Amino acid sequence: MSRKRRASNAPTLTDLPPGPVRTSFATAELVARDTGILLMLDGAESSFLDLRDPAHLDFEYHQQMDAVLAALVPAGVPLRALHLGGAGCALARAWDATRPGSQQVAVEIDEILAAQARMWFDLPRAPRLRIRVGDAAEVVPGLRPGQWDVVVRDVFNGGGVPASCRSQEFLTACLEALTPRGVLLVNTSSMPREQAGAEIEALRESLEGDVSSLVIVADPAVVRGRRRGNLVLVARRVPFTAGELEDVERAVRRLPLPVRTWSPDEAAVPHVQGGRPR
């Protein structure tokens, strides 16, 4: 189905609830903005979905993840993608539009939100996009090795990533679920810095210390702790080549809000060991 036809079948602003909706774990609000809808959960921005253009990604970290993937996987190539944390499924919806034939699964802990998202937005149907209700921390250990081309970890609760979804065991299980050249994309907050640093270190240990298999995408001010923002951690089971890293760097520098790439050593985000920042 073409993007034009899918977009014409999308819900209109008048089809959507005008007030707050209670979900299983939060209060959702739908805010009209430009040609799309901003999904708010307990007052925090959670997803933006353009009702006219499914491929449009509004959140900066979504743009960064998409740019990284485009640099590593040729445009239009279908994906087997697992999204840990669903909400409005904006990234999965965009990849369905730009990479026809993809098969994706979103794991969302909030049962009511998962059902409502299907009603509110023009999300692809199975097998293009399945929404599985469950806790990512419980789902990931049961994944089959080598099952996915991409795993996206975008799990937040109360503005932070649950400890169960940033442990070394969890991140190792995510890596093992990837194909040999599959990519793990991790969205995490730069604050508190010790927690962000601990997560980078946990991922580094999951890769057995191989920094050539891990790159960080972020704005310099965010990496250096001068302002709060998102860090996108990019990892895979085999090292990135110099050419691939150059392609990723060029891709993220061409974004509407350009950012750059960092090695774990360059980023130098402190982590806690034995109760003290290191």
Mean pLDDT estimate for the chain: 90
Predicted local distance difference test score (pLDDT) of residue 8 = 47
pLDDT the model gives residue 12:
63
- Which are the contacts of 126, defined by CB distance < 8 A and separation ≥ 6? none
Do residues 69 and 140 lie in contact, with contact meaning Cβ atoms separated by under 8 Å? Answer: no
Report whether pLDDT(2) > 80: no
Instruction: Give domain status of residue 22, yes or no.
Output: no
Select from 178, 216, 242, 267 the least CA-distant residue to 61: 216
DSSP designation for 99: S
Question: Interhelix angle for 242-253 vs 60-72, to 10°?
Answer: 140
The structure's pTM equals 0.91
Q: Domain of 178?
A: 54-277
pLDDT greater than 60 at residue 255: yes
Domain count, the chain: 1
Identify whether 21 is part of a domain: no
Whole-Å CA distances, 73 to 65, 70, 78, 174? 12, 5, 9, 19
Considering the domain boundaries, does residue 117 fall inside one? yes
Query: What number of other Cβ atoms are within 10 A of residue 19's Cβ?
Result: 6
d(CA 84, CA 64): 17
Let me know if residue 44 belongs to a domain. no
24 inside domain:
no
Q: Residue 26: inside a domain, yes or no?
A: no
CATH code, domain carrying 165: 3.40.50.150
Task: Single out the residue of 54, 120, 53, 114 nearest to residue 83, CA to CA.
Answer: 114
76 found inside a domain: yes
Residue 106: closest CA among 77, 122, 128: 128
* 140 lies in some domain: yes
Comparing 245 with 16, the larger pLDDT belongs to 245
Q: Which two tokens stand for residue 73?
A: 């996987």
The pLDDT of residue 189: 87
Q: What is the pLDDT of residues 104-162, one digit of tens each?
A: 999 999 999 999 999 898 899 999 999 999 999 999 999 999 999 999 999 988 778 99
Lowest mean pLDDT among 5-9, 117-121, 204-208: 5-9
